[in-house]
Structures are given as C-alpha cells and as structure tokens.
Structure 1
C-alpha cells in the first residue's frame, strides 16, 4: 500500500502527488469516517480496537494524556482518500488532536513524529535538569541521538516544540516533586543520600523498562544526578 510504503520511507509529506484524485467523492470518503467508523456500531468496534492499541492508554503524541480519540496523521480534509486508512489513524488525547488540527506538512522537516513508523531507538533521548531553589523546577529537553540524521533530529525537536512538551512535562513534574517530597525526605533521613539516589535510579529504570522515554523517568534520572536534591533539596520545595 502506498501509505505504508511512504511511512517506512519517510516520504508521507510527498504522498499527495502519488494518490489518486478523489474529486467530488471526497465528502463521501470523509463521511465514511464520520458516519461509519465513528458512529456506526460495527465501525465503532474497529475505532475502539485502534484506540486500544495505545500502550497503557497513553497518548503517543505527548506521552501524558489519556487516549480518547483518533487523529488523522495526514488530515482527512486534505487527504479524504485516507480517511479510514488504519495506518493513518493514531490514538491521541483530545488536546493533541485539537492542537494538531488539519496541519499538512509541506516538506519533510515539517513532519511530526508518526508513532507507527518513526522509531526513536533505544536511547534515552528525553532529558531533564533540576533548577535548584524554592520552588525547584524541572526543565525538559531533547537529547538528540547519534543514530539520528540531521533531519530526523530536527523533526523530533519540532514535535517536542509543537506539542509544547517542555511546558507540559515541567507542569507535571512540579506536581510530582511536591507529592514525592515527604517520601524522599524520609528516605534520606533514614538511609542517607546514596540510598535515595539508588531509589531514584531504580524508579527511572522501571519507567524506562515499561514505557521507554517518559517525563517521569527523565525526572527521576535528573533527581538522581542532583547533589542538591540528594542532600536535602526536596525540603525547599
């Protein structure tokens, strides 16, 4: 299939010139999604099966939200022929779906990450650093991998920026820092900084082994590397 081949080749941005023209049938193809896949019972069963493909029901676009909808990676308004193509339907949270809207990539550099085809590898590419003080905060960033070419690195950064993941993750981390403060303070008092560091490293490894690059795992790594935090910084939060 053209779409799947283009997904593997990284040429989805150039797919429009290879697809057959839909002409006046475009609105009927869009209705096949809205009136068939979304609202009919048989279609909804398929819709829900695609939704269920998201690990732990997390949105693969932001890594935080609960999947409640399907996003057209290439918008159905521009590509009605792909309106019900399963590979073009990505489980997403409503916030990411609304943010992405009907944006059509003009070239390869504008392509957001496609969860089905773009493999980020096994490296821990999501990084965080702790800004010490009261209140402390975590800052998130992309650590580009040597396995990525320049264009792919730019696309990952663009995806990170487009969905405002720096801010989203920082806000989530602020809540986790506050709720974990007493537990970490107690562990430091009872067992010392080395034990607290080990606890944080093991927590980070747990997040990594189950879900890969997550904001929680990156936060635990950053805390494990912060001498300020390991020596009582959590008491200033």
Structure 2
C-alpha cells in the first residue's frame, strides 16, 4: 500500500466542485454550508479508523439531508474523476484487497468502505474509497459493523494486518485429500475477528477451496511420481521447494495476506501423514 493516500486533500473534490464553472450559486452555497461538518466527520472517520472502531461512527457524525446526499452523490459520480482524485486513489493499490486475486485498475470499481447508502458523509472522502474488483464490490455491498467484533480490516488503517499471512490450512488424514481453513494462531483476537468478517463479507470460502483444489490438481501427479521414485524425503523436499517459491515477502508490493499457494504448501510440508502415506498404494 502506497502511503500517498494519506496525502490526498480531504476536501479536494468538494473544492473542485465549488470552484467549477457551470455550477449554480445555490448548489455551491449548499455545499459550503455543510463543508465544515463534513470535515469534522472526516476527522472522526480517521480517528475511528486508527482505533479500529468503525462500529461507533453512526453516533459521532453529522446528519446529511436527502438534498445534500444527492449533491454528494453527484460529486462522486461526476467530479471524482474530473478532480483527479480517482486516478490518485488507484495509484495506491495494485490488487483488489477483497479477494486479493483480481487486479485493481482504473477499470475497476471503488468500494465505499462505509457504504454511501448509510453514510453519504463519506461519498468523496478519499480514505473511504477502496479500489476493488467489481465482484467484490457487489458481494460486500452494504456491510455495516454494528459492534466491535463486526469490524472489517481496512486496507488503509490496518496496514500491519495486511502485511501478515492470515490463513493456515490443516490437512485431514483421509484420501482423497481433504483440508480445512483456519486463521493463523499468531494473530490477535481482534485481528482474528476482522479476518473472519472479511472472509464472510466477501463470501470467499468457496473461492478459497476452488483455488486450493486447483493448486493440488496441478501438482498431484508430480508429487505421486516423486513419491514412487524418491519416497517421503523426495516429496518433502519438492514441497519445500514449492513453498519457498510461493513465498512473497511482506515488504513486496505483490504481497497478499491470502497467499493460498504458500499456506497450502506449508500445510503439506508440515503433514507427516501426507508426505509418508498419502501416495502409498
């Protein structure tokens, strides 16, 4: 994540609209009248984001009228791009933080982390706009945290969490191969809730199984051949090579917390049963 997102002027889109020719004086004045309240709401957002307490936002921000909400929606639809803010936001992210699989490009969508249908205050607030693939944006939709344990990980505020591996895979001692997903033990309780909420909100469980099944299918035949010729030691060495090859450093811009290849090969490597017995006739 590029830190430039924090340097974006909070009211840049608002000021661009106010200073744009062709906008009626009445609309400019209406926006000026709520600008101070919006800036206060933005400060609340940043504070709660730093604390991981977005469930408290509803009680701490101003009330937006339907008319002002429509104006802010117009700013998002027509002036976010014109002001250059949309392009600047997309320059901060390469991969969709939802599925962590699809690329987030200018052709992708912007997800309102706190949904605009409930919080129009943040329609054009840069820190509420997350580059997201269309599928993830549609699936997440209007998820709202109602309690501390409902919060999702925020790509801009939970950078430490987004620089950690989230999942571990546990191999069951049955054939054909079966496995299960779990959250890594080293994560804090609060972070575990966030990761689980992320998986649920983006409906990722089935997708995770599909991807891991595909990874295994791509390597199953080679692993069997190696077991038949080199035994357990050869299998373990080959899996270690795959595990090391799939590792991505958290310092890399390509790192994603849901690195399924690394989690799966690590699980196979740690499973004495798989390395010793899975391919026995």
Give the deviation of 1:95 after TM superposition.
2.0
Which consecutive unaligned segments of at least 5 residues does structure 1 have? none
Deviations 1:192-227 (A, max 9, x none): 433432343343344242525312211111111223
Q: Given the superposition, is the C-alpha separation of residues 114 and 222 from structure 1 closer, same or farther in structure 2, using an over 3 Å criterion?
A: same
Q: Is the 8 A contact 1:204 1:217 kept in 2?
A: yes
Partners of 2:241 and 2:60 lie apart in 1 by 49
Instruction: Give the structure 1 partner of residue 115 of structure 2.
Output: 75
Instruction: Give the structure 2 partner of residue 230 of structure 1.
Output: 275
Give the deviation of 1:124 after TM superposition.
4.0
* 3-state SS of 1:15 partner: helix
Deviations 1:146-193 (A, max 9, x none): x52x44432322322333333221111111111122333344455543
Q: Is the 8 A contact 2:53 2:151 kept in 1?
A: no
* 3-state SS of 2:247 partner: helix
Structure having the higher Rg? 2
Which consecutive unaligned segments of at least 5 residues does structure 2 have? 1-42
Alignment: residue pair count: 228
* 3-state SS of 1:50 partner: helix
Structure 1 residue 36 corresponds to structure 2 residue 79 = yes
Instruction: Give the structure 1 partner of residue 181 of structure 2.
Output: 140
Instruction: Give the structure 2 partner of residue 156 of structure 1.
Output: 195
Q: Given the superposition, is the C-alpha separation of residues 134 and 48 from structure 1 closer, same or farther in structure 2, using an over 3 Å criterion?
A: farther
Structure 1 residue 207 corresponds to structure 2 residue 247 = yes
1:31-180 aligned within 5 A: 31-37=74-80, 40=81, 42-43=82-83, 46-55=85-94, 57=95, 59-67=96-104, 68-118=108-158, 119-120=160-161, 124-145=165-186, 148=188, 150-180=189-219
Partners of 1:168 and 1:129 lie apart in 2 by 17
TM-score (norm 2): 0.70
Q: Is the 8 A contact 2:112 2:130 kept in 1?
A: yes
- Name which of structure 1's ranges 199-208 and 17-26 shifts more when overlaid on structure 2: 199-208
* 3-state SS of 2:111 partner: strand
RMSD value, Cα: 2.8
Structure 1 residue 9 corresponds to structure 2 residue 48 = no
Deviations 1:48-105 (A, max 9, x none): 44234334x2x21222333322111101111112111111111222222112112222
Partners of 2:73 and 2:92 lie apart in 1 by 23
